[in-house]
Amino acid sequence: MPINYINFEQAKEQSGLRMVVVPGIPSPWSEAAKGFFHVKNITWSAVRLDQRDKDMAVWTGTRSGPVVMFDKQAPQSHWQQILMLAETLGPTPELLPNEATARAKALALCEDICGESGLGWSGRLDGVHSGLNDQGGFPKPIAQYLGAKYGYDAGLAQSNSDRLVALLHKLAVCLKDQKKSGSRFYVGDTLSAVDIYSATFMAYFNPLEQSVCPMDSHMRAAFESNTAEVTEALDPILLAHRDFIYEGFLELPLSL
């Protein structure tokens, strides 16, 4: 079902579950949170992130998305807080295993994808670096904005790129190992948060086609632009897994 956006003053007055999301692009953290609520069949009200709106920033405590508000609880903007809240609000299906070793593995993979030196952050900084150096990536004004906001450092661009390639490789190896034991999922043989994060974060490297993921052409070009190193590291198994997760578990077309 397409998202029904409400304005933020209205959302503030409401109780229940509300989420501020990045509109118009398949922003990986926002799309993953939407995915959690979808698979758990939890209803929520959507608010478009407006980075310039001071009142919204006061309400959410940040100028990034997603931010989840539940009743009068404090806003949750970190990926792990949002995942844990989703697990509490919708106990089935569980998106993290209960068994300690499998749970630790799942959480470590989530951190590899969503954390501050993870796939998403490194991918974004790689796009910033390319944009600032006229080598594709984000359009320059967006690259400047994202670079200042998310800690771009030209001197660290190469190590950032190396980490990005290593993470893509690690995820592909994990899926290949799982395939050998007969599973199409990252952990065990059922869907977990790792699968949803991996599928949604692939948008930074290879967004779904325009018919199911409608984006402005400049942003699409930016999301589709990869360095040669990333293109090489983007193993087909990562995109096959993305398609499997979207087709089997998430909502298509994306509602942005």
Q: Which residues bind ligand GSH (CB under 6 A)?
A: 22, 27, 29, 51, 64-65, 77-79, 114, 149
The smaller minimum CB distance to ligand GSH, of residues 65 and 207, is found at 65
Q: To the nearest whole angstrom, how small is the minimum distance from the Cβ of residue 77 to ligand GSH? A: 5
Q: To the nearest whole angstrom, how small is the minimum distance from the Cβ of residue 29 to ligand GSH? A: 5
Q: Contacts from 222-229 at CB under 8 Å and sequence distance 24+?
A: 222/127, 222/131, 222/136, 222/137, 222/138, 222/139, 222/142, 223/25, 223/26, 223/127, 225/127, 225/130, 225/136, 225/137, 226/136, 227/126, 227/130, 227/135, 227/136, 227/161, 229/161, 229/164, 229/165
Q: How far apart are the first and last CA of the chain?
A: 11
Q: To the nearest whole angstrom, how small is the minimum distance from the Cβ of residue 45 to ligand GSH? A: 18
**At residue 7, what is the residue type?**
N
The smaller minimum CB distance to ligand GSH, of residues 66 and 178, is found at 66
186's tokens: 């990252």
Enter the DSSP assignment of 207. P
d(CA 9, CA 59): 10
The smaller minimum CB distance to ligand GSH, of residues 25 and 187, is found at 25
| Cβ proximity of 126 and 230 under 8 Å | yes
The smaller minimum CB distance to ligand GSH, of residues 149 and 170, is found at 149
The smaller minimum CB distance to ligand GSH, of residues 84 and 237, is found at 84
**At residue 142, what is the residue type?**
I
d(CA 120, CA 116): 8
Residue with tokens 């003053």: 9
Q: To the nearest whole angstrom, how small is the minimum distance from the Cβ of residue 181 to ligand GSH? A: 30
Q: To the nearest whole angstrom, how small is the minimum distance from the Cβ of residue 76 to ligand GSH? A: 9
Q: To the nearest whole angstrom, how small is the minimum distance from the Cβ of residue 183 to ligand GSH? A: 27
The smaller minimum CB distance to ligand GSH, of residues 79 and 152, is found at 79
Q: To the nearest whole angstrom, how small is the minimum distance from the Cβ of residue 179 to ligand GSH? A: 29
Q: How far is CA 243 from the centre of its chain?
A: 15
d(CA 186, CA 170): 11
The smaller minimum CB distance to ligand GSH, of residues 83 and 191, is found at 83
